[in-house]
A and B are shown apart, each in its own frame.
Chain A
Amino acid sequence: MIVAEKKPIEEIAEEVKEFNKILITGCNECVTVCEAGGKKEVAVLASTLRMYFMNQGKDLTIDEITLERQCDHEYLEEIRNVIDQYDAVISLACGVGVQFTAEKYLRTPVFPGVNTCFMGVSEERGVWSERCQGCGQCMLGKTAGICPISRCAKRLLNGPCGGSTQGKCEISKDLDCAWQLIIDRLDELGRMGDYEEIIPIKDWSTERAGGPRKVVREDVKI
């Protein structure tokens, strides 16, 4: 899922201090799982902002709504009838949701309430780590399900560098060397033959480096 982190309250308050009627929109998907922008976080942010502004003597209305997702038309349409009542929207969805809301409702300024970080997993409650960078050419089949693009600091494709020590990356002793993990896993699977195969130079054009991307499925378009 997409992992995001709450923005500091001071930053959000600064963004919206000139408005009088604000709608905070949450998202029921990824940001709920990483406890940054779900229904509970929307309620907490609304309460916090109300108290913050009341303490400064400013009277304003803050309403709350949590949509199923903010990256699909049908869910964002749910606020079409009410959005014109508001001077501004704070969206706690990931960057995708904030942008889609802004694209749909051109007359209302939309502000982000979270910092979107990466695509990752929930390792345990409160700990999320990166697993995928959306390179567009998945090679996980060759590397025992461990991604060298997102988990190797140098994004190497054919084994560890000289900095790999005791299974840790040279940039931080808390970071596992992705290639050590790959080799260990291939060994356990009895597929060390995969390690011997040289992976050729990667075509980076499918990655973000090739420009903003789009996927079109002619077979499903109506």
Chain B
Amino acid sequence: MRLHYPSNIKIVKIPCTGKVDLIHLLRAMEKGADGVYVVGCLEGACQFISGNISARKRVEQAQEILESIGIGGERIQMYNLSSSEAPLFAQVATEMTEKIKEMGPNPIRLAMKKKAA
């Protein structure tokens, strides 16, 4: 549909959001990502029954952990949409980018830069 969405997003394709584990979300942040968002199927419409439900639980766990260590739990979010809802995908991408821009860069990335300097 040639819709525009922010270019700072790296897409990682997976067969089902149920494949996303807590450690994947945390590692991304550990390596310096400013935010991670998980986009899965609408609840009740998961091809693998409840993969998206598991993903949501893990996203919530990651939010709690990041909040407790001072990185900011809001950096990880989950969205549910149907694979045919392209405009919504673009909107979500923009929304997430705005949210992260507001929060500022990942303190871990800044610390890594400082260490390298």
Residues of A within 8 A of B (CB): 8-10, 40, 43-44, 47-48, 50-52, 54-55, 57, 59
Contacts and interface: CB of A to CB of B under 8 A. Distances in A.
B29 A44 contact: no
Contact of A52 (B21, B27, B69): B69
Contacts of B66: 51
A51 B23 contact: no
A47 B69 contact: no
A6 to B, nearest CB: 11
11 contacts: A8-B68, A9-B65, A43-B23, A47-B23, A47-B30, A48-B69, A51-B30, A55-B70, A55-B71, A55-B108, A57-B114
Given A9-B65, A40-B22, A51-B108, A59 B27 contact: no
Interface in B78-99: none
Nearest to B65: A48
B22 A51 contact: no
Contacts of A40: 21-23
A51 B68 contact: no
A219 B111 CA distance: 60
Do most interface residues of chain A lie in helix, strand or loop, or is the interface mixed? Answer: helix
Which 8 residue pairs are nearest across A and B when measured between Cβ atoms? A47-B26, A52-B69, A43-B23, A54-B111, A47-B30, A55-B107, A54-B108, A51-B30
A48 B69 CA distance: 8
A10 B30 CA distance: 18
Contacts of B22: 40, 44
Interface in B47-68: 65-66, 68
B115 interface: yes
Contacts of B107: 54-55
Interface string B1-39: 000000000000000000001110011011000000000
Contact of A55 (B21, B26, B27, B111): B111
A49 to B, nearest CB: 9
Contacts of A54: 107-108, 111-112
A154 B29 CA distance: 49
* Most chain B C-beta atoms within 10 Å of own C-beta, residue among A10, A52, A59: A52
A60 to B, nearest CB: 12
Nearest to A9: B68
B27 A47 contact: yes
A57 B68 contact: no
A197 B29 CA distance: 63
A40 B58 CA distance: 12
Interface string B96-117: 0000000000011001101100
A48 B115 contact: no
Nearest to A40: B23
Nearest to B115: A59
B108 A48 contact: no
Contacts of B65: 9, 44, 48
* Most chain B C-beta atoms within 10 Å of own C-beta, residue among A9, A43, A48, A57: A48
B26 A51 contact: yes
* Most chain B C-beta atoms within 10 Å of own C-beta, residue among A8, A43, A55, A57: A55
Given A43-B23, A44-B22, A47-B26, A10 B68 contact: yes
